[in-house]
Amino acid sequence: MEPTDGPLIRARNLTKRFDAVAAVDGVDFDVWPGEAFGFLGPNGAGKTSTMRMIACASPVTAGELTVIGMDPRTEASAIKARLGVVPQQDNLDVEITVEENLLMYARYFDIPRNVAARRTKELLEFVQLGERRRSEVEPLSGGMKRRLTIARALINEPDVILLDEPTTGLDPQARHAIWDRLYRLKRRGATLLLTTHYMDEAEQLCDRLVIMDKGRIVAEGSPRDLIARYSTREVLELRLHDDVRAGLHGQLDGLAERVQELPDRVQLYVADGERTLEQVRARGVPLVSALVRRATLEDVFLRLTGHTLVD
């Protein structure tokens, strides 16, 4: 039962079908104690279904799944006692106050009242909601509700924290506030499991991640590994007038390791973007604009699946 010498979560050929549709189509992964592990992929990739199976919220259709050494089919209650869940859609109890949300949640875990009261106070400070503790849930902003949901997920001092799209729908400031809290959790040694379709979120938070598309895992590694393995260091983005683009006839050939045509731009995968840009200019290609940037997980995703993460 003690997870010290094995993975906290282990999936082999894990499958989830809804009627005939395979939402998760035979995935393998291990999550180790203390790491931040991510599922990166577009909507409908099967990330949430995977999360819900791990959280014992949805039955496994086929394959193997072990969570903290236990089987979700038979030991759901014991597993859930040691998980912290931040779902995609906030499901705070809107009929009770901010503070009562944490206190009541603690009761569901059978946490003694005095311990619950202490943790509630600490957690509300941690997510910067101490002053709103007597407030109703409804008037809180989206970012505050998310933070409260995170605090609620920590009430049982979980072994693993599951975060499904933790910052989707939040403004940039609120996102950074969430990331900041999650960093702090990481530094304390928490095991985080998160899904996201934001590559910047995955790059910033995940030690290791899997890229999912259409129910399958298409690649696995650390953000840096994945970029090194599937992309060049830099990317030159060119925007061209449509008629120019139509009449290119191979003028960009031989300049890049790989050329990716997108509806609004052409991306050249190269080691040195500035140098390539000079070469493009030297060939006399008229540009609307050009941009050199570092390669990201978005480029990895594009390379592996042929489509973009967020459309």
Partner 1 sequence: MTGLLRVVQRNLIVYRRVWRGSLFSSFLQPTMYLLAMGLGIGALVDRTAAALPGDVAFLDFLAPGLLAAACMQTATFESSWPVLGKIRWDRTYDAILATPLGVGDIVRGELAWVALRLTTVAGAFTIVMALFDVPRSWTTLLAIPAAVLTGVAFSAPVLAFAARRSVVSGSNSFNTMFRFVITPLFLFSGVFFPIERLPALLQAAAWGTPLFHGVALVRGLVLGSFESWIWLVHLGYLLVMLAVGYVAALWMFRRRLHA
Within its chain, how far is the Cα of 280 from the centroid? 36
Residue with token string 């009541």: 104
Is residue 41 within 8 Å of 219, Cβ to Cβ? Answer: no
> Considering beta carbons, is residue 18 or 64 the nearer one to partner 1?
18
> Considering beta carbons, is residue 57 or 170 the nearer one to partner 1?
57
Question: Please, what is the minimum distance in Å from the beta carbon of residue 93 to partner 1?
Answer: 6
Question: Please, what is the minimum distance in Å from the beta carbon of residue 77 to partner 1?
Answer: 4
Question: Please, what is the minimum distance in Å from the beta carbon of residue 187 to partner 1?
Answer: 25
Amino acid 187 reads R
Question: Please, what is the minimum distance in Å from the beta carbon of residue 118 to partner 1?
Answer: 19
> Considering beta carbons, is residue 58 or 232 the nearer one to partner 1?
58
Binding site residues, partner 1, CB under 8 A: 18, 55, 57-59, 76-78, 80-81, 83, 85, 87, 89, 91-96, 100, 104-105, 107-110, 152, 156
Distance of alpha carbon 161 from alpha carbon 42, whole angstroms: 21
Residue with token string 């594009």: 302
> Considering beta carbons, is residue 140 or 266 the nearer one to partner 1?
140
Distance of alpha carbon 268 from alpha carbon 232, whole angstroms: 9
> Considering beta carbons, is residue 107 or 307 the nearer one to partner 1?
107
Provide DSSP, 131-145. GGTTSBSTTS-HHHH
State residue 81 phi and psi, 5-degree precision: -60, -20
Handedness of CA 267, 271, 277, 280 (dihedral sign): negative
Question: Please, what is the minimum distance in Å from the beta carbon of residue 97 to partner 1?
Answer: 9
